[in-house]
Chain A
Amino acid sequence: MKMSMQKISVLLAVTALWAGSAVAEDKPIVLGFPLGLSGANSITAPAVVQAMELAVSEINDAGGVLSRKLVIELADSASSAAGAQKAYDSLVYQKEVDAIISSEPSAARNAGLPIITRGKIPYIYTSFYEGRSCNKYQHIDGWVPQQVVSLMVDYFMKDQGAKTFFLVGNDYAFGRGLLGDTNKYVTEKGGTILGEEYNPIDASDWTAIVSKIRQANPDVIITSTAAGAPNVTFTKQLRAAGLTAKYGSYALDEGTAKTLGPDAEGIYLGGSYYTSINSEKNAGFLKALNDKFGTETKTPNELSVPQYDAIHLYALAAAKAGTTDTDAVVKALSEVTFDGPRGLVQMSKQRHAPLTMYLAQVNAQGDTTIIKSHPNVDPGEQCPNL
């Protein structure tokens, strides 16, 4: 084999470049992800993991941030306060991450926030939640009740002429907060609340509540049950009882709706992301997800897409700040805008994001059709003192 002088010199040059860049390249930016890999959130966690792997690989393929690569540091927070304390502690103090981005139940977030405050690192919370969580280091790109309650209730009252409502939730901050706001809004608009019932979050028996709904015979049932199993058990037991009232859910995700089969047909969903959003960005996102994970792809949902957005928002903020220094990144996080599958997202309103909100309905095939969309819905007064 004969190699020309030219080829050898090219090879040498490439080698030198590679070696040079390897030296010049800084240590990676480590992003910590406490996630409910076990417990209630474990049902939606696989989709969240895929979305964040996609975001990180997109950013790294495009050259990283500040010419540093992003690295994922995952920790199981067990969907609980106790699990979150351990997960945040290890991410902040042992792994020394540059930022934490997490999609978790409110109890886990509340347990993690004091650790964020002590560790002084940028934090993005990416789950929809009951609102008014404020911390100097925190930004939130999921929806709050102000953004979804009016959308859902107005549709039932104005478009469907409904007058009586029955509210069902799990007994925790998100369930009670969201239904409390719904109760207030329905009453303000002249509707009647026939009942507001809660079941413990780990309960699987809805017998008594289904009985009460049957007796009350409302026009509409609105639920704020915990993601995953409680959504499923309630819906199955409701349908088994043959109740046909209109059913709106704040918490059911598309993937879980599919596993409910015919029981999910007709359920109205309210949120900021559905796979049927008709936009170029969403089509691109779905294709990228499918290219990366093939048949293993999990249906992206209301938890996974905000997680995807948040990673891109962090990358933009660090780039804008020109550093991973906490104060500069936190400041930039309020300013940067990411055009993602949900549309434009900017966490500019008291650390929260105005979002395009959708009302959707599950059809007979288990797919979700969008009925209505409201662009740029304001999150309202969340953290006026920040």
Chain B
Amino acid sequence: MVPVLLDLITTAAILYIVSSGLLLVFGVMKLINFAHGGLMTLGGYAAVMATAMGLSPWIGIPLAAIFGGIVGLSMERVVVRSLYNRPLDAILATWGLSIIIGQIITLVFDRGVHFAEPPIRGVISILGEPYSTYRLILIAFALLLGVGLTLALRGTSLGLSTRAVIMNEDLARGLGINSGLVRSVTFTLGSGLAAVAGALITPLSSVDPNMGIAWLISAFMLVLVSGSSLYSLAVASIVLGGAQVVVSNYFGSVLGGMTIAALAAVILRIRPQGFSYE
């Protein structure tokens, strides 16, 4: 029972880490950033570069944040900004940008799998059950991320402006809030978080030009059922991630693989606002 419970919590943590950047962008901009997968891949390669340069694997994480932030900011400035009133085109454009990121990575690093040193190896004993230390650390990361983002949204003036834009952008702009700046900052932050997630999953994932794509679908489903709230995302990660672990355990991984998508569809059918409480 203990291992299944730990699997459940760590899976939820991983899903939360992978989805939070996407949710942030969706919450503020009402835009699904399909470059999220490409940005995750970029983060994975930041970890590869840290390893190649002989740096501590932990350095890969801030390095990923910087890469993701810079690429995200440029994408927002050059492409996404002009598509704010055309959300469908924005999906297409970000998907295209994701392909471009993947191809540039392929040009620089080739198509093959690359090696990134994991920050930590081995297992520790939890209630007599040996369990992967790194997966447990990811729980701490997820909590840190949730608390950090909540504090930033609640405790800073930019956070206040961001919440205002999330609630009613026209009204916020009428009150003199620079919604363009809020969008810019949010997209940059969301992109940075995507890249950080990419770096964080390298010890569990293959680092290749397609690594982010597999995660994008789950993240997308989670965001759809969570709306724009970080709390709902946490609940959704636990419920859907948990369901995936339970189904995989008792009915096989082939069914487990489709649990998140199937359950998300059912939830949205019954309750269109998903886990969001507004």
A residues with CB within 8 A of B: 42-43, 45-46, 171, 197-200, 202-209, 211-212, 214-215, 228-233, 236-237, 239-242, 255-256, 258-262, 298
A-B contact pairs, 28 of them (CB 8 A): A45-B111, A46-B110, A171-B254, A197-B252, A199-B254, A200-B254, A200-B258, A204-B206, A205-B11, A206-B253, A207-B11, A207-B245, A207-B248, A208-B245, A208-B253, A208-B256, A228-B206, A229-B206, A232-B207, A233-B204, A233-B206, A236-B206, A241-B130, A241-B131, A242-B130, A256-B113, A262-B121, A298-B112
**In the assembled complex, which residues on chain B have CB atoms less than 8 Å from the CB atom of A212?**
249
Assembly CA distance A230 to B214 (angstroms):
11
Cβ of B139 to closest chain A Cβ, rounded Å = 14
Contacts of A256 in B (CB 8 A): 112-113
Contact A233 B205 (CB under 8 A): yes
Question: Are B113 and A259 in contact, with the CB atoms below 8 A?
Answer: yes
- Interface secondary structure of A, over-half rule: helix
Cβ-defined contact, B134 with A197, below 8 A: no
**Chain A residues with CB under 8 A of B184:** none
Across the interface, which residues of A come within 8 angstroms of B244, CB to CB?
205
Shortest distance in angstroms between A232's beta carbon and chain B's nearest beta carbon?
4
B253: A residues at CB distance < 8 A: 197-200, 203, 206, 208-209
Q: How far is the CA of A233 from the CA of B130 in the complex (A)?
A: 20
> Closest CB of chain B to A191's CB: distance in Å?
22
Residues of B that sit less than 8 Å from A by CB: 3-4, 7, 10-11, 110-115, 117-118, 121-123, 130-132, 134-135, 203-211, 214-215, 244-245, 248-249, 252-254, 256-258
Determine the main DSSP class of B at the interface with A. mixed
Q: Chain A: which residue is nearest B258 at the CB level? A: A200
A204 to B4, CA, bound (A): 18
Q: Are A242 and B215 in contact (CB under 8 A)?
A: no
Partner of A208, one of B205, B206, B214, B249: B249
- CA of A242 to CA of B129, assembled, Å: 11
| Shortest Cβ distance from A239 into B: residue | B121
Q: Chain A nearest CB: distance from B143 CB in Å?
A: 19
Question: Which of B121, B203, B248 has most A Cβ within 10 Å?
Answer: B248
Q: Is the CB of A228 within 8 A of B118?
A: no
Query: Contacts A236-B203, A242-B122 given: A42-B111 contact, CB under 8 Å?
Result: yes
Complex alpha-carbon distance, A233 and B44, angstroms? 13
Find out whether the CB atom of B214 lies under 8 angstroms from the CB atom of A204: yes
Q: Is the CB of B3 within 8 A of A236?
A: no
Q: How far is the CA of A241 from the CA of B209 in the complex (A)?
A: 25
A206 CB contacts on chain B under 8 angstroms: 253
Task: Report the bound CA distance from A199 to B114 in whole Å.
Answer: 22
CB-based contact B113/A232 at 8 Å: yes
Closest to B106 in A: A42
| Chain A nearest CB, measured from B159 CB (Å) | 33
- Complex Cα distance, B134 from A165, in Å, reads 27
The docked-state distance in angstroms from the alpha carbon of A197 to that of B250 is 11
Q: For B249, what are the chain A residues with a Cβ–Cβ distance below 8 Å?
A: 208, 211-212
A43 near B208 with CB under 8 A, answer yes
Separation of A277 and B130 alpha carbons in the complex (Å) = 39
Q: Is the CB of B257 within 8 A of A200?
A: yes
Which residues from chain B contact A236 at a C-beta distance below 8 Å?
A: 118, 203-206
Which single residue of chain B is at the shortest CB-CB distance from A198?
Answer: B254
Docked-complex contact A46 and B112, CB < 8 angstroms: yes
